[in-house]
Amino acid sequence: MPTAAPPFERFYEATREEIYRYLVRLLGRQSAEDAFQETFLKALRAYGRLVHADNLRAWAFTIATRVALDERRRARPEHDLPELAASDARPAFAELEHLAGTLPRTERAAVVLRYGYDLAYADIAAALGSSEEAARQATSSGVRRLRKKGVA
């Protein structure tokens, strides 16, 4: 039987730090601030229409990923800007920073979601807006690239 959604405030408190760190990793600190606000505004607007709360964490990552992709599409720099490392206490996925930072965006997101956040492939697929097989492929391709470079 599906689980009822908790009050939005509890959902926000439970996911905000993890989502913010994820957005910093994808966009850098400056862009992550706006993307974080947009993510939770979208979540708040849709929260009342949720049928169940079985995958709220994956749902939040899906929204954050789509907001980050939209942000990247809007702000295409003429050249690649270096990603800034977060200066906060290192989250569990931080050990992947120096490894996954060189991967293409989709592979980087898949590797970080799988090995940094320990999400299932179905949840990664939801976050990336792809099939579960595509999520597995992106994760696998990312790990293979890292192995070729001798870092995994």
Report whether 106 contacts 134 (CB < 8 A): no
Question: What is the predicted pLDDT for the residue at 146?
Answer: 82
Q: Write out pLDDT tens, residues 59-105.
A: 899 999 999 988 877 765 555 555 655 555 555 556 666 677 778 88
C-alpha to C-alpha distances, 48 to 10, 15, 68, 99, 123, nearest whole angstrom: 14, 17, 23, 39, 21
- Domain definitions of the chain by residue range: 8-148
Q: Write out pLDDT tens, residues 113-128.
A: 888 778 888 888 888 8
Q: What sign does the dihedral 34-19-121-63 (CA atoms) show?
A: negative
Q: Tell me how far apart the 2 most distant CA atoms of the chain are, in Å.
A: 50
Q: What is the 3-state secondary structure (H, E, C) of 54-91?
A: CCHHHHHHHHHHHHHHHHHHHCCCCCCCCCCCCCCCCC
Helix (H, G, I), strand (E, B) or coil at 114: helix
Question: What is the predicted pLDDT for the residue at 142?
Answer: 87
CA nearest to 35, candidates 74, 9, 2: 74
Average pLDDT over residues 123-152: 85
C-alpha to C-alpha distances, 60 to 46, 101, 111, 146, 148, nearest whole angstrom: 11, 22, 17, 27, 32
Q: Write out pLDDT tens, residues 2-60.
A: 667 788 898 899 899 999 999 998 888 888 999 999 999 999 998 888 877 778 888 89
Tell me the helices (H) and strands (E) count for the chain, helix number first: 7, 0
Domain 8-148 has CATH 1.20.140: yes
Q: How far is CA 80 from the centre of its chain?
A: 20
